[in-house]
A and B are shown apart, each in its own frame.
Chain A
Amino acid sequence: MTWELKNMRPGYGEALKELGKRYSQVVALNADLSGSTQMAQFGNDFPERFFNVGIAEQNMMGISAGLATTGKIVFASTFAMFATGRAYDQIRQSIAYPKLNVKIVATHAGITVGGDGASHQMHEDLALMRVIPHMTVIAPADYYETKSVIMKIAETPGPFYVRLGRTDTPVIYDEDHEFKIGVADTLKDGDDVTIIAMGLMVSKALEAAKVLKREDISTRVINMSSIKPIDKNSIIKAARDTGAIVTAEEHNMIVGMGSAVAEVLADSSPVPQSRVGIPNVFGESGESEELMEAYGLKVDHLVEKAKYTVSMKR
């Protein structure tokens, strides 16, 4: 399959700029990565409301929290590694516990950061953010969904974590797509197995469904961009309708989206589940596609896991 590729990050940059025009309360903070995170457009248009705090992520989260107490809608951006790793306690104590209106939009998440290697490849961010009370966690699937997510969260009070990647990502949606918090999107119906995917794994799930069809396996594909709150009804329905679940994420398999799905299944509707994701290891340097192959995130891996999961059905 050939996909139109479009980077998610400009979707963020453009939406943030639009929000700046629409709402005077929107402010933006960055820690010396305003170009890479695409916040620079906002900074150029609204210099008074843009604060580049330098390489000081902990301070950025704190200042964000302080601004939020004064009624601002605060966007804070840096790489996922430094946002959630370096400033974890600041997010927990100063943003989530007091339930302040800070939107942490982190870029360069996942193994596809590529050449920078393990120090910059963040596979644990969803785990870290998901376990914090009050935190809503979202991983958009493409450029258009990113835009919709950013507009939606600006209008929804409370702390948010949004995860974006570095690479160009296949386009799944168009301008009309409307993201809803806590609602999964069923992209393709099917009866034998369901692949629940997020981020750049969504296009791979759609491709895997085509391959599986050739082998007479009918596959449902769900985009689970709202990781928390998670759409329990869609998961339970998929379990009941198809009896087998495969999850696909560019994230550590521990406590990521696949685990969130497993929690729902365990509580409500246990069926065989397999997880496709990064094992609990550090990454390494390489080209994005090479790394996807090396760490088991390609279409073939999904197909194999789907067949295995179907075979486990009683």
Chain B
Amino acid sequence: MLLAFDRNDYWSDLESSVSTLTPITVEARKWIVKMIHAARSGHPGGSLSTVEVLTALYYEVMRHDPGNPTWSDRDRFVLSKGHGAPALYTTLAMCGYFETEELMTLRQLGSRLQGHPSMNKTPGVDMSTGSLGQGLSIAIGMALGARLDRKDYRVYCMLGDGEIQEGQIWEAAMAAAHYKVDNLCAILDRNQLQIDGPTENIMSLSPIYSKFKAFGWHVIEVNGHDLKEILMAFKEASRIHGKPTIIIANTVKGKGISFMEGSLKFHGKAPSDEELEQALEELGGDVR
């Protein structure tokens, strides 16, 4: 049976939402490491850092229907940091867009699950991404589309922190405030690392909060692994009028697996057989 997800009124019972979502995040992490291990390539670090935000979005915050992926009234999600695809695919599969077994075909020839998201191949993927810095502009276009059609859908866009070194992000940041797209909510996966090292050493981003504030955004900062804080932030964003919101989610790259946490090595490297075994053990065993 396919289930349509409505925007839940989790506000009234946050604790219960958090206890429902927590085991889902554990299962998601298992699938992410399994599928990247099977693919023998991919980006575990920046996938694992996004799990709580994606789970909150797809299980509680967004209005969507896995049985009707192109439903015109659905809330949209753009994974601007396209290399986080394993986390998105896992969330979509667990929600019912396709079978979780298909996750094991990641990056294989002929698979619907490309290394980076492709909207014409994978049900539930709202935009093709991969070349960094482009998703926020897309999300603005979607948000303006809603306004023109007098529809009430909302648009979510996840950015990587290294990604905001791209100039187009700031063109889009300016435009989103100019057009007052308050149906747009960006999430910054602030995991502090990019391929070549810590973001602050490569090309410093701080202070991110005041940069977006100065561009005219509503800015919220949360612990990106704390479901309660994440849910509260999305609720706050939905109540903001006249400006876009960005949630700076402070996260840990490789979150949930001890030897991947904060590790540069696992930005873009698959776990070995032994590493997979250890990861699954830390997560409480294989997928259910």
Chain A contacts for B141, CB-based, 8 A? 62-70
- Given A66-B137, A93-B129, A93-B130, A71:B145 Cβ within 8 A: yes
Query: Is there a chain B Cβ closer than 8 Å to A98's Cβ?
Result: yes
Min CB distance A269 to B, Å, is 35
Chain B contacts for A99, CB-based, 8 A? 120
A104 to B78 alpha-carbon distance, docked (Å):
23
- Given A90-B134, A94-B134, A67:B142 Cβ within 8 A: yes
Q: Which of B183-205 contact A (CB under 8 A)?
A: none
Chain A contacts for B148, CB-based, 8 A? 27, 48-49, 67, 70, 72
| A98 adjacent to B119 (CB under 8 Å) | yes
Query: Is there a chain A Cβ closer than 8 Å to B35's Cβ?
Result: no
Query: Is there a chain A Cβ closer than 8 Å to B127's Cβ?
Result: yes
| B168 adjacent to A62 (CB under 8 Å) | yes
How many residues of A sit at the interface, in one of the four size bands?
A: 20 to 34
| B137 adjacent to A62 (CB under 8 Å) | yes
| A59 adjacent to B175 (CB under 8 Å) | yes
Binding site secondary structure of chain B = helix
Chain B contacts for A61, CB-based, 8 A? 137
| B119 adjacent to A63 (CB under 8 Å) | no
Give the contacting residue for A51; candidates B120, B144, B146, B172; CB below 8 A.
B144
Total A-B contacts with CB atoms under 8 angstroms apart:
107
Min CB distance B159 to A, Å, is 13
Binding site secondary structure of chain A = helix
- Given A27-B148, A49-B148, A70-B145, A97:B118 Cβ within 8 A: yes
A72 to B151 alpha-carbon distance, docked (Å):
14
Query: Is there a chain B Cβ closer than 8 Å to A53's Cβ?
Result: yes
| A58 adjacent to B72 (CB under 8 Å) | no
Q: List B residues at the A interface (Cβ < 8 Å).
A: 72, 76, 78, 118-120, 126-131, 134-146, 148-149, 167-168, 171-172, 174-175, 179
Q: Which 10 A-B pairs have the closest CB atoms?
A: A66-B141, A62-B137, A70-B145, A59-B171, A56-B171, A66-B138, A63-B141, A67-B141, A93-B131, A98-B128
